[in-house]
Amino acid sequence: MINLPKIIRESILILLLLVNSTIFALGDDNESGKKGDEHFFDIDAVKLEEPGLLRPEFHGNISLGAPFSEGLDESEKGSSNVFKQTEITLWSGVQIFKNLSFVTELEIEEGFEEFVIERFALDWNIFNDRCVFRIGKFYYPFGIERLVENAVNNKLIDRPNPSIKIIPGTYSDEGIEVYGNIPLLYKARLKYEFAATNGLSSYEGKGEQHLDDNNDNISLGGRLGIELLPGLEIGGSYSTGKYDDDEKLRMDFTGADASFRRGGFEIRGEYIRSNVERSTSAGGSFDRDGYYIQTSYKYSPEINYMKYVEFVGRFDSVDPDDLVTDEGDADRIAVGINYSPSHHFILKLEYEMENEATEDKENKGFIQMNIRW
């Protein structure tokens, strides 16, 4: 974590906003005649033109948001917390050789006060995307929500509860990974991802480690997915490893996911379950689980000042500890609408209704602006 003086933090924000203002002034076509969707924030989709070697790509996004609702605590109201809702993601990548590439991703969070390296990895494409070897720091290959957790790709403002309270949020780790796509019969494909990493240091949200390891145990896990038809995919994930300093306590994760996309319609869902070994003095071992279902429809009229408008709905449920019943046990309904006048700008509105086991129902509202380049 790096703390920066307030004037530096504000200068960074102003500079980024000026850069994006310049991008908007250029319109949807750049100097080379490419359409505006060549500038996007989809890290894994950024490909350099052949040969394009040693020509780095730079992309990023900034998200500014604020809560608004009578259901929020006094500390959460008002515009004074806008900078706490600010997140900047900076990405760069380069094709070193035809089959060797490098990618890095930096997130600046908590009002420009926390700097986190989420990815810093080399990819060696051994056999035409059917087998790729990765070494460094990368998103741990569990489930599918991690693929859309960034503010630009996330169709709602917040994330599903199971992806935060069971899996510790954006979980990236150091280690090695092998992944790829294997064509099957007709148009089906097998997708696989297997990794060996340092692992978590705690079953709580703070368990993610950054360039460190609290023990010598290696966590093993990954995901297998089958794309049965274009747009239809089902998958399963598993991970296991010892998380305590003495290497006596194990934590396992199991997950199942499914998604379907056709045209502007999309529906996806996940179920995640975890078994956590814990000493008797700390309360004993426990299980936790949760799931979510999300559906959305994107309408793209391609008219002036409207690239698309998207309607989103999600239901999620989570039980972070089966031994106790508290406010952590919650069901939640969230609805949202997204408006995009261009490829570089998205405005989001979200309203959610949460029903906690030991509390009254609580309603919350959020607004967020996303700029990408």
Indicate whether 351 belongs to any domain. Answer: yes
Q: Exposed e or buried b for every residue in 39-78, given b needs 16+ CB within 10 A?
A: bbbebeebeeeeeeeeeebebbbbbbbbbeeebbeeeeee
pLDDT score at 82:
55
Of 184, 187, 207, 185, give the one whose Cα is nearest residue 197: 207
User: What type of residue sits at position 246?
Assistant: D
Give the tens place of pLDDT for each residue, 288-310: 999 999 999 999 987 888 899 99
User: What is the per-residue pLDDT for 20?
Assistant: 44
Confirm whether 1 is domain-assigned: no
pLDDT beneath 70: ranges in the chain: 1-53, 69-85, 111
Residue 75 has a pLDDT of 41
Query: What pLDDT, in 10s, does the model give residues 47-62?
Result: 444 445 678 888 899 9
DSSP 150: S
**Quick check: is 252 in a domain?**
yes
Give residue 352's pLDDT: 92
How many structural domains compose the chain? 1
Domain of residue 231, CATH code = 2.40.160.10
Q: What's the pLDDT at 33?
A: 35
**Residue 75 structure tokens:** 């500390």
- CB-based burial label for 94 (10 Å; 0-12, 13-18, 19+): middle
Nearest alpha-carbon partner for 134 in 197, 85, 218: 197
d(CA 165, CA 204): 8
Tell me the two tokens of residue 257: 């996911």
pLDDT score for 71:
54
Domain residue limits at 160: 6-372
Full-model pTM = 0.82
Q: What is the pLDDT of residue 41?
A: 45
pLDDT of residue 69: 67
The structure tokens 């926390």 sit at 114
Structural domain contains residue 262: yes
In a domain, 302, yes or no: yes
